[in-house]
Amino acid sequence: MSQKITREQQKLQTRQNIIDAAFASLDATKSLSSVSLREVARVAGIAPTSFYRHFKDIDELGLTLVDEAGLTLRQLMRSARRRISSENGAISTSVETFVEFVLAHNNVFRLLLREHTGTSADFRAAVLREIQHFTDELTDYIVLKEQTTYSLAQMQADAMVKIVFSAGGELLDASDVQISDITERTKRQLYMVHFGATVLVNKPV
């Protein structure tokens, strides 16, 4: 018995095609604002004007992509936490998970990194929200695991995220040999922050 494709299902499918097409168009040389409605439509296999049946304008598509990217980011967080429970250290495991994520989903991470400093205030705000979620979760984790104050944990998490995300940016242009260097360096830098934070707990400045 062949499935009956309802109109609604078809529309949802096309919408997903547009999103996929947009992500496919987002290589190293394209930003959200430089991706054109016409190109996306071409890749998605629809007429340019049909785009408007699904999104109000190109910016709405952009925000949707940022949301999807944020979702992927939270999956990363979950997957890292699952791995931490094993024998290796939390920092080491987290960094390795993050590196794998960036390399596997480099288009997604590039999107976040680029729009974080991009030309659209809306996109910047959207990315900032996602990063903030990420930082908040890390803060909670630190508060849970370490003996520290909340505000100190916040600063520690913020510093760590900044270091890790910056390293992620380096990964995007890195050669194979550089990747392990960056990974090791980042781990050490997080150790610095970690140790420094415990010092600050006892001896506040």
Partner DNA sequence: TATTTCAGCGTACACGTGTAAGCTAAACAT
Partner DNA sequence: ATGTTTAGCTTACACGTGTACGCTGAAATA
| Interface with DNA (CB under 7 A) | 5-8, 10-11, 14, 36-39, 45-50, 52-54, 57-58
14 binding partner (options a second copy, DNA, none; Cβ < 5 to 8 Å by kind): DNA
Interface pick for a second copy out of 41, 44, 102, 167 (rule CB under 8 A): 167
191 binding partner (options a second copy, DNA, none; Cβ < 5 to 8 Å by kind): a second copy
Q: How many CB atoms lie within 10 A of CB 204?
A: 8
117 binding partner (options a second copy, DNA, none; Cβ < 5 to 8 Å by kind): a second copy
Interface pick for a second copy out of 15, 83, 116, 133 (rule CB under 8 A): 116
Q: Segment 76-115, which members bind a second copy (CB under 8 A)? A: 110, 113-114
Q: Can you read off the two tokens belonging to residue 35?
A: 């991706």
Torsion of CA 188, 194, 196, 202, to 10 degrees: -160
Cα(97)–Cα(79) distance, rounded to whole angstroms? 8
Reported for 171-178, long-range contacts at CB under 8 A and 24+ positions apart, including other chains, are 171/99, 171/102, 171/103, 171/106, 172/28, 172/102, 172/106, 172/109, 172/110, 172/113
Cα(185)–Cα(138) distance, rounded to whole angstroms? 20
162 binding partner (options a second copy, DNA, none; Cβ < 5 to 8 Å by kind): a second copy
In the three-class reduction of DSSP (H, G, I as helix; E, B as strand; rest coil), residue 88 is classed as coil
Residues that bind a second copy (CB under 8 A): 28-31, 33-34, 110, 113-114, 116-121, 124, 155-156, 158-159, 162-163, 165-167, 169, 173, 185, 188-189, 191-197, 199-200, 205
